[in-house]
Structure 1
């Protein structure tokens, strides 16, 4: 855009444009809001009041994130050392990231690193001055938004704000929020407990983060106290943690959750959305058998954050999808790939109810396939003609607790299949683990035919 002279806007004009833009944004007309702010965008280079109005508009989530980030870059460029603009700009960087997507990679837009550098310089220049606190708040937010890239800067800034205001609750809460997302749960308990004690009233966000940190730290007593204060029907439960009756929900698992990674490996890796058996407001047992190897799987106990990333619709029901905060317990289940045939839907999956413990036959795909009957019976014969047949094929994985012997698991599956008489399951790795080498060879051939046909 032009850097040349432009009309000076009055305070009333600036306020009116800002109100209109926010109204458009709240009505989810973000492109209209973008058009509304163009006079402010032109004026902001020579009118700090216009720049401050734009920062407020961004903070109200009135613009699309990409456009908002570009706009903040323009403001930062125009007001290099403005202590009345840059700290607020740093704090509103939360508005140009999806903060509910906890495990996202560091943002690519340069405004985040730019603000870390600008506010870091301002913090040094204004140390001990009245404006130091606001600069540190903006610096902490800017650094925290960059995943694990600037943790030392974020923590140092948050700690200094606490030192400047030890009797205010919000600095302790912000420090506790940082500790929670970095997997430092015991420190998060301390910070969030201080925030709750200093607050004049019960604040839900303080309570939630205290409960989550206490669960992550294995502090069942504190977690139970929090959930009961919040009116949850919950008591002592499995894994030494609180447990109540909660509907199942979903979690987006990450190979590398934010709380478990470093600056050198700062991305989530593979991700997969799964069902969990929810035991408390913030933890549960994975009840889907994963497609990929994320280092966490069926039966493991995970901690999730309190704000859902999105919702999945099942009929009229909205199921929340929460971010994976950390893995509390890996139970080292056994996993065996399988392929099988069945006559009716879920015939193989329903065998799970006849297995020991919470072992499960988990279907990843079901469908009809056309195959050669002669190849099915004996693939080593050179068939001049292929005899076609149709099979209802199921492909998936078997999960079993580590204390169930493979031979026992295979026996239970065989017994259940024999009772049904109309389905078959081929799990060559399970046969091998059970010591049945001859059967493994047959199962491996038929497994390959079903899976790869």
Structure 2
């Protein structure tokens, strides 16, 4: 392959890129890179080839090509080649490479080896549920993974599951003047064993519902009153949205994440803490 032919293939690759034909684009980049792996512009081609496979959710290829892209990227300067490699290596379970990629990007990690279990703060993730799109809060364990801290209302999703999310925010949530990014989910990394239940509760005041939520959280379970769920259009969801406290008293459904027997005990305990104003009925599994 001559350089003039390579230039033609790169031009075709970017035409395919513009048309979002990721597989075609990646294949053309790879043809050129097989012959010219270390040209001045090769680092960009390695990156784009890896990124195309990321869009295709072909994590093995995104990982292999991402290693080549990161090897040609400057360390400690926030180069996105390291971020994409960090995602792919995490999904592949190569923690040594993931740790090196985050360090290469310029992120300080907790000391140690193996799976990263840090405290990277709160954020939101837009779950990809095959048609439904639900934004939930997560506790970030590393730059690309988080544990779901809400009880999702989407079928099949659970409190406590660990998800991998993308690095570019698609929207923000503002709570008490503080802004939190909303990331798109890439995949479910680890399922949760906690079942989802639903119950009808009657609470005299919002504080009674707060007490119910706090009781379940105290036991590492989840509780999500229906009045706390807000429905947004896709445009608003991907913008900057200020969230207000919306929980109110009265009768309503509450989603719970807990084994059924323990949920019953906690509901009885909650209802028995006051003489009047708290009751529950109709506890049943959702899935």
- Tell me whether the two structures share a fold, i.e. TM-score over 0.5: yes
2:198·2:255 contact (CA, 8 Å) conserved in 1?
yes
Tell me how far apart the structure 2 counterparts of residues 363 and 200 of structure 1 sit (CA, whole Å).
Answer: 48
- Unaligned stretches of 5+ in structure 2? 229-248
Counterparts in 2 of 1:182 and 1:175: CA distance versus 1, 3 Å: same
Counterparts in 2 of 1:182 and 1:296: CA distance versus 1, 3 Å: farther
Equivalences for residues 117-128 of structure 1 within 5 A: none
Tell me how far apart the structure 2 counterparts of residues 420 and 204 of structure 1 sit (CA, whole Å).
Answer: 57
Structure 1 counterpart of 2:189: 328
Structure 2 counterpart of 1:248: 122
Structure 2 counterpart of 1:96: none
Larger Rg: 1
Structure 2 counterpart of 1:381: none
Tell me how far apart the structure 2 counterparts of residues 407 and 131 of structure 1 sit (CA, whole Å).
Answer: 66
2:152 to 263, 280, 290: 290
* Other structure's SS at 1:242 match: coil
Tell me how far apart the structure 2 counterparts of residues 292 and 186 of structure 1 sit (CA, whole Å).
Answer: 29
Tell me how far apart the structure 1 counterparts of residues 78 and 266 of structure 2 sit (CA, whole Å).
Answer: 52
Counterparts in 2 of 1:151 and 1:205: CA distance versus 1, 3 Å: closer
2:85 to 210, 213, 216: 210
- Unaligned stretches of 5+ in structure 1? 1-125, 257-268, 367-390, 434-453
1:243·1:280 contact (CA, 8 Å) conserved in 2?
yes
Tell me how far apart the structure 1 counterparts of residues 100 and 72 of structure 2 sit (CA, whole Å).
Answer: 18
Q: More strand per residue: 1 or 2? A: 2
2:138 to 267, 276, 279: 276
Is 1:319 the equivalent of 2:187? no
Is 1:351 the equivalent of 2:212? yes
* Other structure's SS at 1:250 match: strand
Give the superposition deviation at 1:128.
Answer: 6.3
Number of residues paired by the alignment? Answer: 259
After superposition, the C-alpha distances for 1:352-396 in whole angstroms (9 at most, x for unaligned) are: 444474212211217xxxxxxxxxxxxxxxxxxxxxxxx722322
Q: Which has the higher contact order (CA 8 A, sep 6+)?
A: 2
Structure 1 counterpart of 2:51: 177
Tell me how far apart the structure 1 counterparts of residues 90 and 74 of structure 2 sit (CA, whole Å).
Answer: 25
2:170 to 270, 295, 309: 309
After superposition, the C-alpha distances for 1:174-230 in whole angstroms (9 at most, x for unaligned) are: 111122233322332221221121235555201111111111112122212222442
Structure 2 counterpart of 1:340: 201
After superposition, the C-alpha distances for 1:56-115 in whole angstroms (9 at most, x for unaligned) are: xxxxxxxxxxxxxxxxxxxxxxxxxxxxxxxxxxxxxxxxxxxxxxxxxxxxxxxxxxxx
Counterparts in 2 of 1:342 and 1:228: CA distance versus 1, 3 Å: same
RMSD between superposed Cα atoms in Å: 2.8
Q: More helix per residue: 1 or 2? A: 1
TM-score, normalised to structure 1, is 0.52
* Other structure's SS at 1:394 match: strand
TM-score, normalised to structure 2, is 0.79
Tell me how far apart the structure 2 counterparts of residues 206 and 127 of structure 1 sit (CA, whole Å).
Answer: 25
Structure 2 counterpart of 1:419: 273
Structure 2 counterpart of 1:394: 252
* Other structure's SS at 2:157 match: coil
